[in-house]
Amino acid sequence: MNKKLARVLYVTKEALRRDPSLQPGRRGARKLVVTDLFKTEFKAIECVWEYPTATGSCPVQVMPDTEIAVFTHLAKQDRHLHNKGTEIYMVMEGKMVIEADDVNYPLASGDMIIINPGVIHEVKIEGTEFMCRVVTVHCGGEKDKFLES
């Protein structure tokens, strides 16, 4: 096994479907690209991404000002905005609704929506199952997420 950092990171939907974090009873979300490592994350060294091992550690790619996560209908949601970050939500399977600027946008598999900085938004959990990818660019990680009071 090559211990250098992965030069590519190949993530399949099938590997995500097997990820314990995306299963019922778990948090419903998995980060794949982060601006800064969190205590349970490590830089990916394998090209093919697999969900965490028994240690619970997660392989991620570190990329300044960019984050990528996958979440399901099981993930906790909140109304928030970003001052700098632009979020691009892409539905991988199922159907979901995002409220942005007080308008509900229904999204189905293959659809996407771009939420620009300063827009208050929230994924609405409405009883349908889905898997969604969100890419945040020009972000400052958790420091650029502001909950609506």
Q: In the chain, how many domains are there?
A: 1
Burial class (CB in 10 A: 0-12, 13-18, 19+), 97: middle
User: pLDDT at position 29, please?
Assistant: 94
Q: What's the domain range around 25?
A: 13-147
User: pLDDT at position 52, please?
Assistant: 67
Does 3 map to a domain? no
User: pLDDT at position 2, please?
Assistant: 47
The whole-model pTM stands at 0.91
CATH of the domain at 28: 2.60.120.10
Spans of the chain, pLDDT less than 50:
1-2
Q: Which segments within the chain are labelled E, that is strand?
A: 29-34, 41-43, 58-62, 66-72, 80-81, 86-100, 103-108, 112-115, 121-124, 130-137, 146-147
User: pLDDT at position 118, please?
Assistant: 97
